[in-house]
């Protein structure tokens, strides 16, 4: 069945069978509980399956968005072991993202770098990359521009190309380390300001 650029289904929807993608790109995501922006769980490329939870009669765990107008998917019967493997992989990725997301003010930086490392193709249109990070403010565009100047990705016309994923991975690790450090500092200040001296006569 053909899909234009729109949501195929949302969390909680029920379908009769999973899908196999023949053409286009499908983005699987959930809405962040912190700011409501989409958190990408995975990109579906031609030849990949999605909606594997439907094989067990379960409602959709993620939102599925057809990113390109020429998206074509077909109903497919998945063996239970394959469906279970896919569900497990997606849930693990969601857990990993949630652990990082729960401690960050730098949500856009981490999400942007994470998406650079998980592009479905060697190159992707800029609009498709940026939309995975939710609403794009001027500040966020400046961050993306700064990463481009650092050489984390190239812009060839309207396409984004990542030729050095190792640099992206290093920057992602650095940002996460900074966030963890800041969290410790902020937590220390919080409890320091609320320190209550013990009452009673001094000895």
Q: Write down the pLDDT at residue 195.
A: 47
Residue 20: which CATH number?
2.60.120.10
Residue bearing the bigger pLDDT, 31 or 8: 8
Bridge partner list, 149: none
Q: Write down the pLDDT at residue 181.
A: 76
147: domain range?
105-181
Cβ–Cβ under 8 Å, residues 73 and 55: no
Q: Are residues 89 and 111 in the same domain?
A: no
Q: What is the mean pLDDT of residues 142-167?
A: 87
Whether residue 197 lies inside any domain: the answer is: no
Q: Are residues 121 and 52 in the same domain?
A: no
Cβ–Cβ under 8 Å, residues 110 and 104: yes
Q: Are residues 98 and 109 in the same domain?
A: no
Q: Is the pTM of this model over 0.85?
A: no
Q: Which of 59-63, 71-75, 113-117, 181-185 has the highest mean pLDDT?
A: 59-63
Q: Which residues of 34-43 are buried (b: 16+ CB within 10 A; e: fewer)?
A: eeeebbbbbb
Q: Which of 42-56, 135-149, 174-188 has the highest mean pLDDT?
A: 42-56
DSSP state of 139: H
Q: Write down the pLDDT at residue 203.
A: 46
Q: Which of 67, 102, 137 is the last residue of a domain?
A: 102
Q: Are residues 121 and 167 in the same domain?
A: yes
Q: How many structural domains does the chain have?
A: 2
Whether residue 131 lies inside any domain: the answer is: yes
Strand 38-44 relative to strand 154-156: parallel, antiparallel, unpaired? Answer: unpaired
Q: Write down the pLDDT at residue 9.
A: 92
Instruction: Give the residue from 82, 90, 28, 15 showing the smallest Cα distance to 54.
Output: 15
């Amino acid at each position: 069945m053909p899909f234009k650029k729109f949501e195929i289904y949302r969390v909680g929807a029920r379908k009769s069978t999973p899908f196999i993608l023949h053409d286009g790109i499908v983005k699987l995501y959930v809405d962040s509980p912190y700011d409501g922006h989409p958190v990408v769980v995975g990109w579906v490329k031609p030849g990949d399956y999605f909606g594997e939870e439907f094989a067990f009669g379960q409602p959709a765990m993620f939102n599925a968005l057809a990113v390109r107008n020429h998206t074509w998917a077909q109903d497919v019967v998945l063996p239970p072991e394959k469906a279970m493997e896919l569900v497990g992989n997606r849930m693990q990725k969601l857990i990993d993202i949630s652990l990082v997301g729960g401690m960050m003010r730098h949500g856009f930086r981490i999400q942007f770098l994470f998406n650079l490392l998980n592009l479905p193709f060697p190159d992707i249109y800029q609009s498709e990359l940026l939309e995975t990070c939710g609403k794009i403010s001027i500040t966020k565009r400046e961050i993306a521009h700064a990463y481009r100047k650092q050489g984390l990705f190239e812009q060839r016309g309207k396409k984004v190309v990542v030729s050095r994923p190792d640099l992206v991975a290093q920057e992602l690790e650095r940002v996460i380390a900074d966030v963890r450090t800041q969290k410790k500092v902020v937590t220390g200040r919080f409890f320091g300001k609320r320190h209550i001296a013990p009452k009673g006569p001094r000895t």
